[in-house]
Amino acid sequence: MTTTPMRPTAPTFPDRADVFIGGKWVQSSGDEWIDVVDSWSEDVVARVRAATFADVDAAVAAARASFDAGVWASTPIAERADVIDEIANRLEARLPELIQIGIAEVGIPVPVSAMTQEMTVGLFRAVAEEARKVQLVDERTRADGGISRVLKEPNGVVGVIIPWNGPIGTIAFKVIPALAAGCSVVLKTSPEAPLSPSVFADVIAELVAEGRIPEGVVSVVVADRDVSESLVANPAVDHITFTGSTLVGRRIMAVASERIAKVSLELGGKSAAIVLDDADLASVMQALPMGGCLQS
């Protein structure tokens, strides 16, 4: 006789009654809540305040003001890298919490959640390490003997829209490089997985309070599609980066094209693999299912 394993008891997490704008938890202009549903038990394990159009506008205004003030953008890139390392340290200190959140939000088993959350902390540190290698000024001698100078500068205000699967990892891929470059960021998280980005926001709030990140540089909001589209359409946002479906990406590109905003899109494809002629097919066929189903 076989037995069906019982689903683990769903833990509960603190409700998030405020929205995170400009580096601080503040009262929302609205009163809508988003239920966070545990992927195993299907129980509601927390509630998160939904951002309104006004909240997103406030987040963008804070990001615009902070970038135009130039404090973070003019901070030496090595110092920005040090701050990113500190973000990693503080997230690492909260790994037990993040592991439990990963199980609830994404539905992955305990060992996989532990592995991916620990790996993500390493990604933060990898960005910091790469940032320290960046040469912001590149001078080259032309054929006519003159000098061409290439300057690397931050894009400005970046709107980041991430999916539900692996939110902290996607933050490492999108938000952290933008911060390393000196940009200000408005992060729009998925309503299905808002808790781990809230932990990230907690860490940012600590560093803002300590004066290591200026106010306005980072906002984190949770919103539905219509409110999210207002972030894409806002003329104060210089660059939109999105991971998700081709359908939504097409809409983002159309809205952003109205004002010629920069767009980075990671769309549609799922766990593509390139198998070379000399590959060990038995090993490949064992590895592909885990790679394809890890957090999907």
Domain CATH for 280? 3.40.605.10
Q: Identify whether the C-beta of residue 261 lies closer than 8 Å to the C-beta of residue 237.
A: yes
* pLDDT value of position 224: 87
Better pLDDT: 289 or 229: 229
Mean pLDDT in residue range 199-208 = 98
H runs (alpha helix) in the chain: 53-69, 71-74, 77-93, 95-106, 110-131, 167-181, 195-209, 225-233, 246-257, 281-293
Q: Which domain holds residue 268?
A: 19-133+153-293
Domain total in the chain: 1
Please count the other Cβ atoms lying within 10 Å of the Cβ belonging to residue 215: 18
- Residue 101: pLDDT above 70? yes
Burial 87-96 (b: 16+ CB within 10 A, else e): bbebbbebbe
Task: Please give the radius of gyration of the chain, using alpha carbons only, rounded to the nearest integer.
Answer: 20
Judge whether 6 lies within some domain: no
**CA-CA distance, 276 to 200, in Å (whole number)?**
39
Determine which of 3-17, 28-42, 260-274 has the lowest per-residue pLDDT on average. 3-17
What does the pLDDT read at residue 285? 86
Q: What is the mean pLDDT of residues 199-214?
A: 98
Q: How far is residue 107's CA from residue 112's CA, in Å, rounded to a whole number?
A: 10
User: Chain-wide mean pLDDT for the chain?
Assistant: 91
The answer to whether residue 279 is domain-embedded is yes
The answer to whether position 220 is within a domain reads yes
* Residue 142 located in a structural domain: no
Number of H helices, E strands in the chain: 10, 11
Q: Is residue 217 part of a domain?
A: yes
pTM: 0.88
CA neighbor of 135 nearest in space, from 125, 149, 147: 149
> Which residue is associated with the tokens 């766990």?
271
Residue 1 lies in a domain: no
**pLDDT for res 4:** 42
Q: Judging by DSSP bridges, how do beta strands 218-222 and 184-189 pair with one another?
A: parallel
In this prediction, residue 253 carries a pLDDT of 95
Determine the pLDDT at residue 9.
65
Q: Is residue 141 part of a domain?
A: no
Q: What is the pLDDT averaged over residues 19-47? A: 93
Which segment of 3-7, 21-25, 164-168 scores lowest on mean pLDDT?
Answer: 3-7
Per-residue confidence band for 55, with pLDDT thresholds at 50, 70 and 90? very high
pLDDT at 1: 45
Contact between 3 and 179 under an 8 Å Cβ cutoff? The reply is no
State the pLDDT confidence band at 123, using cuts at 50, 70 and 90: very high
Q: Does 244 map to a domain?
A: yes
Asked whether the CA dihedral 23, 24, 27, 33 is positive or negative, the reply is: positive
